[in-house]
Amino acid sequence: MKTERLDVTPRGIDRAAEILSSGGIVAIPTETVYGLAADATDEAALHRVFAAKGRPQDNPLIVHIAEIDTLKVLAREIPSAAFRLAERFWPGPLTMVLKRTDATAKTVSAGLDTVAIRMPDHPVAQAVIRAGVPLAAPSANTSGSPSPTTAHHVLHDLDGKIDGVLMGDECAVGVESTVVDLSSTPPRLLRPGGVSAEELREILPDLVLDKAILVEPEQGAKVASPGMKYKHYAPKTTSFLVEGTSAQFVDYVNQKKNGAALCFSEEAALLTVPHLCYGSAQDESELAHNLFSALREVDGLGAKEIYIHAPEKSGVGLAVYNRLIRAAAFQVIAL
């Protein structure tokens, strides 16, 4: 299949909408990561999304909307907190899991009684949604590899497997949306993301953090968010997540003959092993923004092992930590 490169012009957006309404699948930029979109009511198109990504069938998709009224079409028994969250954080990097109606295809929810919904804060994503139907869109990467934050990443993984890519800019946030489950009480944070747990607590004081965020789910365990149980974001090189101060990290990694580092920019000048920086220790948004590009590049350092300096687990840092602990297959070194 030839993957059409579409400009982010009214013409390119119309073409994307046309492909989507005829059952095709198109990658679109959002403020978090690129998504691989399909009509959320079209079973055949949704199956093509799972096939192109190599995604396990039991991992449900997020439905992307452009108008708040669509929420009531897709979900039922919506708690008032959902509207307060929407008012505060939409459009933006927040996904709400709610009880589903029959408005979307069953494949979207992978057999669950709930549906995940978000309103992206990106003019191109919004224009494509407005031109047609609600779109189901997982991240536009091969399952298991880092999510794509550039159109180039999308093509690296999916060229020839999807109908088109809207060739937008680099994604601003860089990590995927925060997923919060409001379908039961208390509300539960399933995946940390661009909206922090601290911000959510201002509206959801009883929010609980799902333990799968920071702990490896046991083999065969049932997890609230199916996506959390899969190996994810992993470079090919064996990776370790290292916790400690900059001085400890630099000392430790400099002793590793076959090692390389994914470090904070403050540490670069002190490292004697090959390294890549993903931002300042002081700036968790910068770390989030650069994270997935860096994870795609670390194999190029040519080392046997990669030591990744872990960020603080607060604010957006929790989302970065959550992705890194998966990239490192839960191998954590506490200095």
Site of interaction with Mg ion (CB under 5 A): 139
191 binds, among Mg ion, ligand TXA, none (CB under 5 to 8 A by kind): ligand TXA
Among 3, 95, 126, 239, binds ligand TXA (CB under 6 A): 95
| Residue 139 contacts ligand TXA per CB under 6 A | yes
Closest distance between ligand TXA and the C-beta of residue 111, in Å?
A: 10
Residue 240 · residue 331 · CB < 8 Å: yes
Token code pair at residue 127:
């224009």
- For every residue of 91-113, DSSP letters joined together read SSSEEEEEEE-SSS-HHHHTT-S
Does position 155 bind ligand TXA by CB under 6 A?
Answer: no
DSSP states of 35-96 as a string? EEEEETT-HHHHHHHHHHHT--TTS--EEE-SSTHHHHHHEES--HHHHHHHHHH-SSSEEE
User: Is residue 60 part of the contact set for ligand TXA (CB under 6 A)?
Assistant: yes
Task: Give the one entry of ligand TXA, Mg ion, none that residue 116 binds, where binding means its C-beta sits below a cut-off of 5 to 8 angstroms depending on kind.
Answer: ligand TXA
Among 137, 165, 261, 306, binds ligand TXA (CB under 6 A): 137
Does residue 35 interact with ligand TXA by CB under 6 A? yes
Binder of ligand TXA out of 6, 71, 85, 115 (CB under 6 A): 115
Q: What is the DSSP secondary-structure string of 285-308? A: HHHHHHHHHHHHHGGGG--SEEEE
Q: Which is nearer to Mg ion, 139 or 196 (CB)?
A: 139
Minimum distance between the CB of residue 225 and Mg ion, rounded to whole angstroms?
A: 11
Among 62, 82, 86, 277, binds ligand TXA (CB under 6 A): 62
Residue 180-219 contact track with ligand TXA, rule CB under 6 A, x = bound: ----------xx----------------------------
Sign of CA dihedral 254, 260, 264, 268: positive
Burial class (CB in 10 A: 0-12, 13-18, 19+), 283: middle
Place of tokens 């190599």: 54
Task: Report the nearest approach of ligand TXA to the CB of residue 159 (Å).
Answer: 18
Closest to 70 in 3D by CA, of 98, 46, 47, 44: 98
How distant is the alpha carbon of residue 334 from its chain centre? 26
Residue 159 and residue 3 in contact, taking contact as beta carbons nearer than 8 Å: yes
List residues near ligand TXA by CB under 6 A: 30, 32-33, 35, 59-62, 93, 95, 97, 109, 112, 114-116, 118, 120, 137-139, 176-177, 179, 190-191, 225-228
